A and B are shown apart, each in its own frame.
Chain A
Amino acid sequence: MEDNECSDEELVARTKAGDPSAFDTLVIRYSPRLYGLIYHMTSHHEDTHDLMQDVFTKAFKSISGFRGKSSFYTWMHSIAVNMSLNFLKKRGRRYQLSLDDIDLKLDKNEEFLQATAGSDPRRETGLLELQRKLNEAMMKLSHDHRAVVTMFDIQGMPHGEIAKILKISEGTVRSRLFYAHRQLQSFLEEFRKP
């Protein structure tokens, strides 16, 4: 059986047994998703890259203590979220969007192009402006609110999974989302469709 077809549990067991290629497969499997999670919390590609390395390093060192009580998916996401939150609390700097951080592949995305074509001719809704507004709005949220918005709205995770990752109740997840959405409403009022 190829590594790509192995389940997370099998790969974890092989990693514990000393097979480094098994953990490599887990890295390949989880890095795109974890990148999205960390990037949307930090809004900075370089910081995301460094954090990703730290997250997988910590996971590799701690994998012998992983007992399988939760899924490996939840466990990895817990590590990523906690390390991102700790990073943001330590840095505490204001986010500044630079040209390097702009994802220029978005100009070929149909959904994104539709969002920028507004009926209001007065507003200038270039790609750069929209992404800046979205990122600024996200960075104005508190770290905890940004985490739930990232996982629910951007990554599409269910409330229960978010609750397990953050070790809070589902009710707390819902209330944080409600509050975060209200805040984002005022930040993004300009880009709402009539």
Chain B
Amino acid sequence: MDSQSDIQRLLRLKRHEGPPEGFHENFLEEFRRRQRAELLRRTLKPSIRQVLIERISVLLPSLRISSLAYASTATIGVMASIIIWMHSPAGTSKHSPLVASTNSHPPEFNIISATPPVEIPNQRAVGTFPPSYILENQPASYNPPLGF
């Protein structure tokens, strides 16, 4: 008999090796017990993600605002922002940031805000006073220094 089959014959003997008596009967019971313990552990200690999802789902109904209302509110907010920006001086092309004056008299500065410009009554005679400087709605200190 060759060595290969001898080896295989000896190895086949290992098929007869088995677990202690009663192993398979108790194995299923222990498996069920471990499953119940695992289920209990998961119930008592949910993952962080599960906690977050649960809290968000509880919070939303308590505010009595549907998810659709949230989307609508966000859309209205965005549209309002766009409209305001369109009416602001930065969003329009009519107003230039600065109109320089060549008159030697010190200029008068009128500040223009997002609302339509307010008419300032002219207290001096027309043609004798220097023109008003129209600037953006910014304090003077924010203006970049004039580069002469």
Contacts and interface: CB of A to CB of B under 8 A. Distances in A.
Given A27-B28, A53-B31, A193-B1, A40 B18 contact: no
B27 A52 contact: yes
A113 B34 CA distance: 40
Contact of B7 (A28, A130, A181): A181
B4 interface: yes
Interface residues of B, number: 28
B122 to A, nearest CB: 82
B129 to A, nearest CB: 85
B24 to A, nearest CB: 6
A116 to B, nearest CB: 10
B17 A106 contact: yes
B64 interface: no
A48 B19 contact: yes
Interface of B: 1, 3-4, 6-20, 23-24, 27-28, 30-32, 34-35, 38
Contact of A45 (B1, B8, B20): B20
Top 4 nearest A-B pairs (CB, nearest first) are: A153-B11, A192-B6, A103-B17, A154-B14
Interface string A54-68: 001100100000000
Given A53-B31, A57-B38, A115 B16 contact: no
B10 A111 contact: no
